[in-house]
A and B are shown apart, each in its own frame.
Chain A
Amino acid sequence: MRRALGIAILLFQLGAIVYARFVPARYFCWAPYDSQNDYLIEVVVNDRVLSRDEIQSRYRKRAKGADNRSIQHIKDIITGYETSYGADENAQVSLSYWVNGGEEQSWKWPRH
């Protein structure tokens, strides 16, 4: 039983490593410090621009900062929050980011 559990845990990670080849996120696949993302999150709720502290409290991420994992992780946090805990607030979120010092890219929520 314990041996089977150990092997299952290892196999799960191997599966995550393979899965990561097909998606932008890098969960459970051992990709630490594989990218340097500078980002800026801006949020508007009911025509009010949230402060940086409010954004940090909302997403548990700094409004402006750097992250060493895939930028998709920040997008997932924003999407996850806005479709669950903050679904009723109809927030408009803008994420600007630079991957490894490259060109500025932007991403918005809602997606349409």
Chain B
Amino acid sequence: MEVAATLSPAKPSWNPLRIDGTGLEPNVLLAAKLIAFCLLATNHLRVYPDEPFLPFLPFLDALRAPFPFQPVTEALLIGSALALLFNRRVRMACLLLGGVIILGVVASKAYYGNNKLFCGLFILLAGLTRKGEEPSVLRWQLAIVYAGAAINKWFDPDWLSGQFFSYWAGEKLEQPLFLAIASVIGIGWAGKMMCWSTLLVESALGVGFAFRRLWPAAIWLGVLFHCCMTWFTGSTFTMFFYAMNASFIAVAAWPKRPLEAFYDGDCGFCELSRRAMARIDPGSVYVWEKLQTGRAQSQYGISNDALMQRLHVVIDGNEIRSGFAAFKRMLLANPVTYFFFAAVVLASGWVSAGFRSLVIAALVAFFFPLFSPVGEAAYNWIARNRHLMMGGESCQTD
């Protein structure tokens, strides 16, 4: 009953951290919102064309002065981005925002850029999807981006020979790791290694997003690829890093209903943790239930011993996670997490590119499967000692 009641509010919330109750699938909306958020946070308007300049479609030259191109497009861009963030007519907002960005791209050869084109197309295509439908058009968009990038490189002699990276990383960026590798194996081989690695990863991503069972691997590969590129070059490639990572959310498996979290209701520390998690859950993506109700045991067959040892989370009534894995899954199901990530990465970039790379590495490592043993060990230590952390407040389980 409690789960059903939190499925969807009657009207969409004005809270930008909520993604339920609109005409879009929650994860599609979240992906589009994150791109809109990053567009605004990076002040994308400063690079948006002030008027058409050598447009791809010649008739757009008619939008030069006296037509007020800049004020009209600025108003549309900001208005639609804000409408999207505040859950107002989100599909229309996506069509408008994506349309305005694409208008800028086709109206000015000087503004043309792959990252802007991707943002515009992705948001526009998101607006063409609908709640209850699989957003396959977005998945194919990702497959086309990576396949296109790979195909272009496969036909480029400078990529096949390694010349591209030898020059870019070796001479232009003077990338320390690349130069260190080059000092051992030679710059030609180092360039070839980087070029071919990129070629293979982009090819794999093109294939990965085309086949359903490969999506999870493709998402991880994509996240690692873009994070490594940002670390390697010190650049987010304008919006590319943010937009590509955000877009993966739209094709990720997303819970259809709130996560059921079973915790020890007789434990002070557990109750404190529950309250802390509830504070960052404006969309009620978690439904908390004390293990003492016995439902976890009767409905999902989780033993009482296991429940006493670790937090358990049930996703969509059929997938059970516990401990650190449950904690990670809860974070990944919460839109606040992604806005937090975006804000932290953006803010760290204002400090320095190196600091931003460290922050990105830490965030990725926390969720990366190889880190799980460390996370589980830390979780188990905390779980074992939770009675010591409440300064005298008792924890009945111990």
Contacts and interface: CB of A to CB of B under 8 A. Distances in A.
Contacts of A5: 128
Interface residues of B, number: 43
Q: What interface size band does chain A fall in? A: 35 or more
Given A10-B137, A81-B54, A17 B147 contact: yes
Nearest to B145: A30
Interface string A1-39: 011011101100110110011000011111111111000
A81 to B, nearest CB: 6
Contacts of A80: 54, 109
Contacts of B167: 36, 100-101
B125 interface: yes
A73 B113 CA distance: 11
Contacts of A20: 152
Interface string B161-172: 001101110011
A53 interface: no
B385 interface: no
22 contacts: A2-B128, A7-B137, A10-B141, A10-B144, A13-B144, A13-B148, A17-B147, A17-B148, A30-B114, A30-B149, A31-B149, A32-B240, A34-B156, A36-B167, A36-B172, A60-B53, A60-B108, A76-B54, A76-B109, A77-B110, A81-B54, A100-B167
Interface of A: 2-3, 5-7, 9-10, 13-14, 16-17, 20-21, 26-36, 59-61, 66, 69, 73, 76-77, 80-81, 84, 99-102
Interface of B: 53-54, 56, 61, 108-110, 112-115, 117, 121, 124-125, 128-130, 137, 140-141, 144-149, 151-153, 155-156, 158-159, 163-164, 166-168, 171-172, 237, 240
